[in-house]
Structure 1
Amino acid sequence: MIDALKQLVVEKLDVNLSYDEFDQTTPLFEDGLAMDSIVFTEFVLLLEKTFNVEFEHDSLTFENFYNLEKVSQIIAKHSS
């Protein structure tokens, strides 16, 4: 799952990073990938489409999307 998430970030989002420049613990915001609200919205939509999940509004929190490890956990939770 982490590899698939990294591929999405590198190939589909405007983050100007290569696959090897970050890992599952790299923060998606501020000191990490520095996603802004537009890129984050695109990311959420990509996740929903790619993994066939729908996130509830209250699950779109900083904690749930802090890094790819957390993102994989929230996808697993919504896939069940």
Structure 2
Amino acid sequence: MSELTQELKAKIITQLNLEDLTVDDLDDHTPLFGDGLGLDSIDALELIVMLDKSYGIKLSDPKEGRKVFETVQTMADFIEANRK
């Protein structure tokens, strides 16, 4: 699973233009929103697009999105469970 989390970290950094961060700066369990990385609702939309384009996963329920985007690890777990 660590290969997927490393890949996800790189995609998040690229997708959201987080140029001041490296893959090593992101912990698998750091919250992506709020006190963690501090992402916002626009970032969430970009992550939804990334899931669709990169992994063929569509999120339609906002409540589901909150759970999925808690941390890099929760995203990786969701992708593993739902990847096409």
TM-score per shorter chain, which class? 0.7 to 0.9
Partners of 1:32 and 1:75 lie apart in 2 by: 21
Structure-to-structure mapping, 1:22-41, within 5 angstroms: 22-41=26-45
Unaligned segments of structure 1, at least 5 residues: none
- Structure 2 vs 1, CA of residues 55 and 77 (structure 1 numbering), >3 Å: closer, same or farther? farther
Q: TM-score, normalised by structure 2?
A: 0.80
Q: Does 1:74 align with 2:78?
A: yes
> Does 1:59 find its partner at 2:64?
yes
1:47 alignment partner in structure 2: 51
The alignment-based identity, stated in percent, is 27
Contact (CA 8 Å) 1:28, 1:35: kept in 2 or not?
A: yes
RMSD of the TM alignment (CA)?
A: 1.6
Q: Is the 8 A contact 1:14 1:39 kept in 2?
A: no
Which amino acid in 2 is paired with 1:12? Answer: Q
Q: CA deviation at 1:56?
A: 3.4
Deviation at 1:64, TM superposition (A): 2.3
For each residue in 1:3-62, what CA deviation from the matched residue of structure 2 results, as whole angstroms up to 9, or x when unmatched?
1100101122133422221121111011111110001110111111101122232522x2
Pick the aligned partner of 2:9 from 3, 6, 10.
6
Instruction: Give 5+ residue unaligned stretches, structure 2.
Output: none
Runs of 4 or more, structure 1, over 3 Å off, are none
